[in-house]
Structure 1
């Protein structure tokens, strides 16, 4: 016979075989007894906790030839065929591969027809959160008022991704993670039936690794049983899964407390040689110190975690650390665990994290932790140990002086820059120099004169007329970008550039992000029928520029005629043109 995986061979076929979800099973059985079944159910919870299994058992219970009954008989033709998946009226649909609106429209059309083989049609839609928004909208009306012979059962691991309109039309059941005791009991029963010899500690460790999922636990058990010829020991589970026993973490914590850096690094190297991963070691060590903190702060804290096997050992270790040290250790490990996700050498980062822990527990202060934002004077003086005090003071004075000069330069840089420009161009009219100053010249787009000249052009009027269409198209593409972009309004165009002025700097900066800007430019190109570039500035800067352009000059610019002599013409501008461009380039016509 073809081999069947353990989690498939031991999938529960009745409500009483389902593990760890008694609050759901009892509710469904009472609904069947009282004939108060709903037309739509939503089963949500972590993977491997029995959502699809419960849905199929419910389909058998409502269609059993001896029912509807609180328990399917699993003997009649309907039960056996539903178990085999050969009943056309009980459909299990994978929403990940049938997520479009067309598939849901096809389902909506077929719902109208009465069942042909069993009492009631049952649609089990697995991973329903993968449906598109359009597909959800197409399903809403059918889900709210289906024909009396139809039942929907939606299953998902991510209920927060479902629209509220869908959730409100269903009876929701939240599947919880299966406790370690229930998993161990189930694994022990399966081992007896499958003639697998397993140590109790091995089963407990498998249950902890599965993180509350029965399917994961059975997969690990089958893998180890195949490797060890049906003899499952605790050490084999550790070797196969890359796990580290709890006493090894206790030894590591002892070295951290005593500051034994050499032994600690040798221990880490041994982990790596055995094939352990640095990120998994970091995760388990974080859990270990979390449990130490819980043991230290909460009475009977062993009930809050399933990782504490011997409470006395944990209490002895917890007494060696203070609460402040444990908080600092958790902060440090959490910081380096985040950094490890992007590290090229995670082992090195793991070693650095443990070295940091040694410095914390051997008298280092909390300010030495990487999560501290500033150094206190005490830690600063510790960091400069060995450096003469007069040199340190001199360096501090120099740094303070540089910071003061930099701050002063930043404050006065704009005014001094404008003064230099006026000094170099003394012939500039006084009225123009007294125009309102732009607050942030770096945010002014290049070619400002061109934008001012084109602000009433035909091209700009075309953009202005289609602006509402552009905003609507951006909203259809991505509503979050539309929320930022609608703060701006077009003020001018120049060649392929569209200048948009914003009232709020945050909205402008978000719009200027490369991904957002690219999407907006694509929308404008489609709406305007030509390639477009998005150029942004602040509305205040645009108003100031307009005011400066419209301010009349105090004295009109006039050309002073040179003293008359025999070589000068009666038109002074002709002489000026000849002087500027040369006689070869100037042609004089009456």
Structure 2
């Protein structure tokens, strides 16, 4: 028996046989019992949830020779005729192929005539959202003033595409997806009647794949039964539906966890050789990581483990990932799932998506420990740099301050300033040469990601950075141009600069430093002019007190451009205020 024949044999012929739509059935039965049947109904919901079937059962109930009855007898000539499609007064129209105004005008002309065989003429218009605007206008006139002997039943999966004027003239019923438990019960009933042996795991798997559509579940059951010679197991259901076995899920997740790209690519190749489609692999893997996330965040989330046979192994894999990792990986998979729909090389795009997961995954506790060791090493290097800079300043004449002066330095809102402090020159030649280079192109592609991550770290830093434009990258340096000098100054604050450089290094997978220049100077350099003139910061000297006033002016006989930056590093930006 083909799956179409199996579905027809198990297609509900009475209201009581409907699965998952009891709230709708009860409403319709009450309307029939009280003789308050509407002239127009709108049935909307996902595919395979019983919209058209309910419409036909309703047509039989109102026209049954022993009714109108809340349950059609299914034995009289009328019920049998409607079931077999012989009654000319019950018309089913597919709006996908009959969507023009001419077809609707034909209906409008015929509704005025009384039915010849039954009580009510019933027009069932399936996929009604496919009608043209003109056809909707023609149908609207009929719905406004319908004859008493006509019932319209409109069925659609996309009610938002219907005009509001059509919806307002119908009684609307929303069909829901059939629950997994209800589907499994119906599939088990079918297996018993048809002599098919099936395990509970296989039926649950088939029910989940149908995504709430009973029709799809029966079709998958028949397809799997034919493949497995009426001996349905979970392995057979996975094979015939193109899914991925639990063991392969685990191996992929383990390869991603350990950043083992070679093993991951080998697994992908074996899946492709087994006939799995890239889009199905990506979809199933996203479900897998979703279940890991649910299990990790929802205590006692037993529903998440329904997809996996070995629950203990599943829980162990969930504990190997952090929630942030899982969120990030699901977002990456979702992005590539959209791209896969238009990809010329879907397998290559699948491999790229999984390689990106390998690159973005922290790899659990071991990776965290390694990251912590790296951070400690970086901090030690920064301390060594500060110590060497402090020693250099001491050689230039800076002496340790008494305790009282040290306390004054720590007082809030202390200003350190000197007149004539100059910003160091930025050599732009190498940045101009790198405008078309690979490093610049890569940095520009990832600049949006850098901006988003900076915003996550500190939104005020991203606000100052929005005025900038990344123009070039070369040898671990990013050159930004600014239109506004204040935005440039705030971006260059040590704490702000540190955030930007950290994020850029994470995104680009190598250390990067920030270099800034005003837009006008950059444009002049690109046009072939000389390097930009030195920018002078005129600072007020009235807040300078004690020996600090002579630092940088009297020791070497000239100005020291590094003075302000060194003051930030020594005393912290919270205590140093530079006034222009």
Both proteins in one fold, TM over 0.5: yes
Aligned to 1:38: 38
Query: What's the offset of the Cα at 1:5?
Result: 2.0
After TM superposition, the structure 1 = structure 2 runs for residues 424-573 of structure 1, keeping only pairs within 5 Å, are: none
Query: What's the offset of the Cα at 1:4?
Result: 5.6
Query: What's the offset of the Cα at 1:331?
Result: 2.5
Please, which of 374, 378, 387 is the counterpart of residue 502 of structure 2?
A: 378
Instruction: Indicate conservation of the 8 Å contact 1:291/1:308, yes or no.
Output: no
Aligned to 1:158: 158
Query: What's the offset of the Cα at 1:70?
Result: 0.8
After TM superposition, the structure 1 = structure 2 runs for residues 267-346 of structure 1, keeping only pairs within 5 Å, are: 267-303=267-303, 307=307, 312-346=312-346
Superposition RMSD on alpha carbons, in Å? 3.2
Q: 1:311 to 1:385 in 2, by over 3 A?
A: closer
Matched, 1:57 2:181: no
Query: What's the offset of the Cα at 1:405?
Result: 3.8
Q: Secondary structure at the match of 2:334?
A: helix
Q: Could you list the per-position Cα deviations for residues 149-205 of structure 1 after superposition, in whole angstroms to 9, with x for gaps in the alignment?
A: 111100111111100000000010111111111111111111111111222222111
Instruction: Indicate conservation of the 8 Å contact 2:305/2:311, yes or no.
Output: no
Q: 1:358 to 1:85 in 2, by over 3 A?
A: same
Q: 1:348 to 1:384 in 2, by over 3 A?
A: closer
Q: 1:93 to 1:352 in 2, by over 3 A?
A: closer
Q: Secondary structure at the match of 2:32?
A: helix
Aligned partners of 1:54 and 1:402: how far apart in 2? Answer: 70
Q: 1:204 to 1:194 in 2, by over 3 A?
A: same
Aligned partners of 2:16 and 2:38: how far apart in 1? Answer: 21
What is the total number of aligned residue pairs between the two structures?
404
Aligned partners of 1:36 and 1:122: how far apart in 2? Answer: 16
Instruction: Indicate conservation of the 8 Å contact 2:119/2:149, yes or no.
Output: yes
Q: Secondary structure at the match of 2:155?
A: strand
More displaced stretch, 198-207 vs 34-43: 198-207
Query: What's the offset of the Cα at 1:2?
Result: 10
Q: Secondary structure at the match of 2:450?
A: coil
After TM superposition, the structure 1 = structure 2 runs for residues 216-255 of structure 1, keeping only pairs within 5 Å, are: 216-255=216-255
Instruction: Indicate conservation of the 8 Å contact 2:89/2:118, yes or no.
Output: yes
Q: 1:385 to 1:214 in 2, by over 3 A?
A: closer
Q: 1:212 to 1:411 in 2, by over 3 A?
A: farther
Q: 1:225 to 1:355 in 2, by over 3 A?
A: same
Aligned to 1:136: 136
Q: Could you list the per-position Cα deviations for residues 74-129 of structure 1 after superposition, in whole angstroms to 9, with x for gaps in the alignment?
A: 01111111111111111111112221112211211111111111111111111111
**Bigger radius of gyration, 1 or 2?**
1
Aligned partners of 2:527 and 2:133: how far apart in 1? Answer: 52
Instruction: Indicate conservation of the 8 Å contact 1:180/1:306, yes or no.
Output: no
Query: What's the offset of the Cα at 1:283?
Result: 1.3
Q: 1:8 to 1:382 in 2, by over 3 A?
A: closer
Aligned to 1:72: 72
Instruction: Indicate conservation of the 8 Å contact 2:57/2:72, yes or no.
Output: yes
Aligned to 1:7: 7
Aligned to 1:350: 350
Q: Greater RCO between the two (CA within 8 Å, min separation 6)?
A: 2
Name the TM-score, length of structure 1 as normaliser: 0.63
Instruction: Indicate conservation of the 8 Å contact 1:208/1:306, yes or no.
Output: no
Q: Secondary structure at the match of 2:136?
A: helix
More displaced stretch, 72-81 vs 326-335: 326-335
Aligned partners of 1:407 and 1:176: how far apart in 2? Answer: 61
Q: 1:361 to 1:2 in 2, by over 3 A?
A: closer
Aligned partners of 1:291 and 1:83: how far apart in 2? Answer: 43
Which runs of no fewer than 5 residues in structure 2 stay unpaired? 372-442, 454-499, 530-580
Aligned partners of 1:386 and 1:336: how far apart in 2? Answer: 25
Matched, 1:361 2:362: yes
Q: 1:304 to 1:134 in 2, by over 3 A?
A: farther
Aligned partners of 1:72 and 1:43: how far apart in 2? Answer: 20
Q: Could you list the per-position Cα deviations for residues 287-328 of structure 1 after superposition, in whole angstroms to 9, with x for gaps in the alignment?
A: 211222222223444447964666554433222211222222
Name the TM-score, length of structure 2 as normaliser: 0.64
Query: What's the offset of the Cα at 1:277?
Result: 1.6
Q: 1:353 to 1:159 in 2, by over 3 A?
A: same
Instruction: Indicate conservation of the 8 Å contact 2:128/2:156, yes or no.
Output: yes
Aligned partners of 2:4 and 2:155: how far apart in 1? Answer: 24
Q: Secondary structure at the match of 2:91?
A: strand
Q: Could you list the per-position Cα deviations for residues 442-486 of structure 1 after superposition, in whole angstroms to 9, with x for gaps in the alignment?
A: xxxxxxxxxxxxxxxxxxxxxxxxxxxxxxxxxxxxxxxxxxxxx
